[in-house]
């Protein structure tokens, strides 16, 4: 049964591809904006409810299309999903009998890989189609499978499906060859009910890894060390349902911080954990942007006549500068004085937005994983295309600062991860509209 008190829509590519953002740039953003729950935490926490014996209530869930896809997968598997309010979901997975997630469901988002760990932890087996998601270059899952194998599971890939099966999941030492958020979270889910002690070394330390551990612990798991390189998980017999609130979205917050900066505005960004924003705050201050930190909010503003300064940035695993903020900060550096260098340290192909920004007058040259940005006096509005989620966000930011009108196509990428972006920006004074064409020909309801 899929009972939705609030109508959350799963955009179908062919329909929402017709939606565009129209932005008239040049308005200094002013006011307050409230950040939603973290996408990357919520897309892991929702599948993890499969591990609980009772119903879970998850609060501060962002209203984005990736979440709609996850709830749809859970619902199709037999879970009862009920929206208690716009951001609170009650999930009861007692009725889930299947351990299979087919391609039709997983192709839309990378996070569908979390069903591997969740179902392995629950059923001792999982059959999940290889995940989709943003096209940022090769995105292997070898470390996920290595982790499952260490716990005693057999893993094979056939006909596009990953088959994972374990007679007895047994705690073990798992050493990751690279720092992977997804593999760390997946192995935590598989290990919480395995017998004995699992030790994950070279674990990812991102805020959403910690949030996942906190959620599992609130259900009765025994996980220590999340947020450090070594996570220890002592298996428990069962997990109970829990009520849990997702952390605020660090990347959404960072995006609005850049929006305030690039428009030379003055914005109070509410519902954030400033500690999670430190790498972003450090770089913004280096560029010349002022950031005032409070307990659960940050104010971002730019003094009159202050020029943005160029800088160098290399994206790294947490607590380094997040790769998911790389396109957005690049948009700002397009307007900085001098030459900035961005080195992408995580993904092979994360500069697809550069061509689009150049259509708006930016001066960027890309060589492999390095982009050299020569600051320009101004950007000018142009028709552009969002090539992925954060690339789309970068184009919105550029459009807000540009002279004239920017028309952004393929905004379904943006809607995967930003709740009501046009509404939030309009609340800050931006001139942004959602343009729908040929609505009668399409239907995007679940
Ligand atoms: C998560 C985030 C994504 C973010 C990324 C890096 C979610 C849903 N998505 O993605 O927004 O950009 O972290 O912070 O949380 N790798 C392997 N083998 C593996 C797994 C990963 O080689 O088995 C490599 C990847 O190719 C990449 C690096 O490790 O170069 C980091 O990837 P990973 O941390 O796993 O990213 P995701 O969990 O997919």
**Which atom of ligand 1 is found nearest the CA of 142?**
23
- The pTM for the full model equals 0.94
Ramachandran bin of 352, using left for φ above 0, alpha for ψ from -120 to 50, beta for the remaining angles = alpha
Q: How far apart are CA 221 and CA 234, in angstroms?
A: 8
Neighbour tally for 167: CB within 10 Å: 10
Query: Torsion over CA of 345, 350, 355 and 357, rounded to 10 degrees?
Result: -80
Q: Are 207 and 38 in contact (CB under 8 A)?
A: yes
- Ligand 1 pocket, 234 CB below 6 A? no
285 alpha carbon – ligand 1 mean position (Å):
27
- Residue 134 designated active-site: yes
Low-confidence ranges of the chain (pLDDT < 50): 1-11, 13-17, 439-446
- Ligand 1 pocket, 141 CB below 6 A? yes
- Ligand 1 pocket, 348 CB below 6 A? no
- Catalytic choice (5, 56, 134, 310): 134
- Ligand 1 pocket, 58 CB below 6 A? no
Q: Whose CA is nearest to atom 4 of ligand 1?
A: 324
- Ligand 1 pocket, 315 CB below 6 A? no
Write a three-state SS string for the chain. Answer: CEECCCCCCCCCHHHHCCEEEEEECCCCCEEEEECCECHHHHHHHHHHHHHECCCEEEECCCCCHHHHHHHHHHHHHCCEEEEEECCEEEEECCCCCCCEECHHHHCCCHHHHHHHHHHHHHHCEEEEECCCCCCCCCCCCHHHHHHHHHCCCEEEEECCEEEEECCCCECCEEECCCCCHHHHHHHHHHHCCCECEEEEECCCCCHHHHHHHHHHHHCCCEEECECECCEEEECCCCECCCEEECCECHHHHHHHHHHHHHCCCEEEEECCCHHHHHHHHHHHHHHCCEEEECCCEEEEECCCCCCCECCEEEECCCCCECHHHHHHHHHHHCCCECEEEEECCCCCCCCCHHHHHHHCCCEEEEECCEEEEECCCCCECCEEECCCHHHHHHHHHHHHHCECEEEEECCHHHHCCCCCHHHHHHHCCCEEEEEECCHHHCCCCC
**Which atom of ligand 1 is found nearest the CA of 144?**
23
247 alpha carbon – ligand 1 mean position (Å):
19
426 alpha carbon – ligand 1 mean position (Å):
32
**What's the confidence (pLDDT) of residue 438?**
58
182 alpha carbon – ligand 1 mean position (Å):
6
Residue 282, C-beta contacts closer than 8 angstroms, at least 6 positions apart: none
Ligand 1, residues 67, 131, 140, 178: which to mutate, most atoms within 8 A of Cβ?
178
Q: Kindly list the structural domains of the chain, giving each domain's residue range(s) and its CATH number in brackets, ordered by start.
A: 12-36+249-443 (3.65.10.10), 39-245 (3.65.10.10)
Q: How far apart are CA 102 and CA 372, in angstroms?
A: 41
Q: Whose CA is nearest to atom 39 of ligand 1?
A: 182
Q: How far apart are CA 182 and CA 185, in angstroms?
A: 5
Q: Are 380 and 361 in contact (CB under 8 A)?
A: yes
- Ligand 1 pocket, 140 CB below 6 A? yes
Angle formed at CA 24 by CA 411 and CA 388, multiple of 5 degrees: 20
344 alpha carbon – ligand 1 mean position (Å):
13
């Amino acid at each position: 049964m899929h009972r939705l008190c609030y109508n959350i829509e799963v955009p179908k590519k062919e329909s929402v591809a017709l939606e565009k953002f129209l932005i008239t740039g040049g308005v200094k953003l002013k006011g307050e904006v409230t950040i939603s729950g973290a996408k990357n935490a919520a897309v892991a926490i929702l599948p993890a409810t499969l591990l609980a014996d009772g119903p879970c209530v998850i609060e501060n869930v962002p209203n984005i299309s990736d979440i709609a896809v996850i709830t749809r997968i859970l619902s199709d598997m037999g879970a009862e999903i009920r929206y208690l309010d716009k951001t609170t979901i009650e999930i009861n997975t007692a009725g889930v009998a299947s351990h299979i997630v087919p391609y039709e469901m997983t192709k839309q988002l990378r996070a569908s890989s979390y069903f591997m760990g969740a179902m392995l932890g629950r059923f001792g087996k999982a059959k999940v189609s290889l995940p989709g998601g943003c096209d940022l270059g090769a995105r292997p899952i070898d470390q996920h499978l290595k982790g499952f194998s260490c716990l005693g599971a057999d893993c094979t890939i056939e006909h596009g499906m990953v088959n994972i099966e374990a007679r007895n999941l047994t705690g073990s030492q798992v050493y990751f060859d690279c720092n992977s958020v997804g593999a760390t979270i997946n192995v935590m889910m598989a290990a919480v009910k395995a017998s004995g002690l699992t030790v994950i070394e070279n674990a990812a330390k991102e805020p959403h890894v910690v949030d996942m551990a906190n959620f599992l612990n609130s259900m009765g798991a025994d996980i220590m060390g999340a947020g450090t390189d070594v996570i220890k998980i002592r298996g428990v017999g069962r997990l109970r349902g829990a009520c849990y609130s997702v952390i605020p979205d660090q990347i959404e917050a960072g995006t609005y911080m850049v929006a305030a900066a690039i428009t030379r505005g003055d914005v109070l960004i509410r519902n954030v954990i400033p500690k999670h924003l430190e790498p972003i705050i450090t770089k913004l201050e280096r560029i010349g942007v002022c950031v005032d930190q409070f307990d659960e909010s940050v104010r971002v503003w730019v003094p009159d006549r202050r020029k943005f300064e160029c800088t160098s940035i290399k994206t790294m695993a947490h607590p380094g500068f997040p790769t998911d903020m790389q396109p957005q900060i690049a948009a700002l550096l397009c307007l900085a004085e001098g030459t900035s260098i961005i080195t992408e340290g995580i993904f092979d192909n994360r500069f697809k937005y550069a061509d689009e920004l150049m259509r708006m007058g930016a001066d960027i040259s890309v060589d492999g994983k390095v982009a050299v940005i020569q600051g320009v006096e101004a950007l000018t509005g142009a028709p552009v295309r969002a090539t992925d989620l954060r690339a789309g966000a970068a184009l919105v930011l550029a459009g807000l600062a540009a002279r004239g009108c920017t028309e952004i196509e393929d905004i379904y990428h943006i809607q995967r991860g930003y709740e009501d972006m046009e509404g939030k920006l309009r609340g800050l004074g931006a001139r942004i509209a959602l343009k729908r064409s040929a609505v009668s020909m399409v239907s995007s309801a679940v």
